[in-house]
Structure 1
């Protein structure tokens, strides 16, 4: 039988989606038990708690399971509704944050996957496509959230900071694996945002180690170091 714990997180160390949940729980000061999953040999408990997708992260709160990282983040913010709040109170501001969080997940992250799974000319094209998507995101963020840099809340990390920073703060690891994708010269505002978040103690202690992540990426996608 599973030992009951008020809050339990099933995840894997290298997943940005799981890092999101760790950041939110820590930011809110919510104690939790962490269960590291081997995704090549998923536990019966993970499959029990997420029978639809059989993926991490899964948050189990008082025996009730919540899946999908964006859904979990909103659950955390609504259930533990004390400050700091992850999402703005104003409905329009909240809608903008949700829009760009979905854009990041539905457009930018798939563009990175395309880079990792392609080679040669196809990979070069995938890198250019990804940069175009990032440019749209960067311009949209600056337009919709003016004068809120580096963090959208103007203080602690917020919803969009967590969604993006949990993976994009590792852009140097990605650059090391496949070549320069996120370029500080071409995307200065985005890289400034990432640098500011990486300097945040909470982000710094939660992100996976750079060298270990580089090794994981190369192993997962069978990639060799880029030519210099």
Structure 2
């Protein structure tokens, strides 16, 4: 495709931004990453996502695509010649969308309670978080990836959260590996992929960011 300008408005610890970074890396698409300050939002971000004013935003030839999962689907549809991310079978594709939606609806909120609250609310968040991971473990089964032998859509939807796990475990005082060993094996498998390894920040760097965030919102 001629005149292919791809820009990503992103914020480095965002597990949602990581989805687009991985999808672009899987497809070997060159793009310009424009890091955003979420406490001082740029005119470009406000122009490209006036409804939610959030990252990530994928800008393709001047046109914005908002919401990370929609962005991953867009990348898969536009650059369809390499590394398909969604299954070709309509039923399997619908299932992949269902589980990506489940991750967005269930995992983020429970995970946030682990690092952003204390006491009973934190404990409830931890309990919900582990339950969600156990459900996802059941979906994964004995397959290498959620799409079977091929790394794909659901893996991309989920793996970005893994960089936050050190913080979740530290603040929640639990071990993911003890609770959900299959999940951790899957995550380590994903991390061996170059597209994932180069798209995800270090867990300890994310932990330092969350420490700062906890102070900013008045928990510490």
**What residue in structure 1 maps to residue 201 of structure 2?**
208
Helix, strand or coil at the partner of 2:177: coil
Shift of the 112–137 alpha-carbon distance from structure 1 to 2, 3 Å rule, reads same
Aligned length: 215
CA drift of 1:191 comes to 1.1
User: What's the TM-score, normalizing by structure 1?
Assistant: 0.88
Contact 1:60 1:66 survives alignment (8 Å)? yes
Query: Given the two structures, how large is their TM-score scaled by the length of structure 2?
Result: 0.91
1:42 aligns with 2:41: yes
For residues 1-20 of structure 1, the aligned pairs below 5 Å read 6-20=5-19
Q: How far apart in 2 are the matches of 1:199 and 1:210?
A: 15
Answer whether contact 2:166 2:207 (CA < 8 A) is retained: no
Determine the structure 2 residue equivalent to 1:21.
Answer: 20
Q: CA deviation at 1:151?
A: 5.6
Change (3 A) 1:22 1:43: same
Q: 2:153 aligns with which of 145, 151, 159?
A: 159
C-alpha separation between the residues in 2 aligned to 1:9 and 1:126? Answer: 31
In the alignment, which residue of structure 2 is the partner of 1:120? 119
CA distance in 1, matches of 2:161, 2:147: 17
Map of 2:185 onto structure 1: 192
Matched residue SS, 1:66: strand
Deviations 1:137-157 (A, max 9, x none): 221332xxxx531462514x3
Q: Which residue of 2 aligns with 1:218?
A: 211
**Matches of residues 126-165 of structure 1 in structure 2 within 5 Å?**
126-142=125-141, 148-150=143-145, 152-155=147-150, 157-165=151-159
**2:147 partner SS:** coil
Structure 2 gap ranges (5+) = none
* Residue aligned with 1:206, SS: coil
Q: 2:158 and 2:108 mapped to 1: Cα distance? A: 10
- Given that residues 5 and 63 in structure 1 are in contact (C-alpha distance below 8 angstroms), is that contact kept between their aligned partners in structure 2? no
Partners of 1:199 and 1:216 in 2: how far apart? 24
Change (3 A) 1:178 1:185: closer
Alignment of 1:34-183 (within 5 A): 34-142=33-141, 148-150=143-145, 152-155=147-150, 157-180=151-174, 183=176
Structure 1: gaps spanning 5 or more residues: none
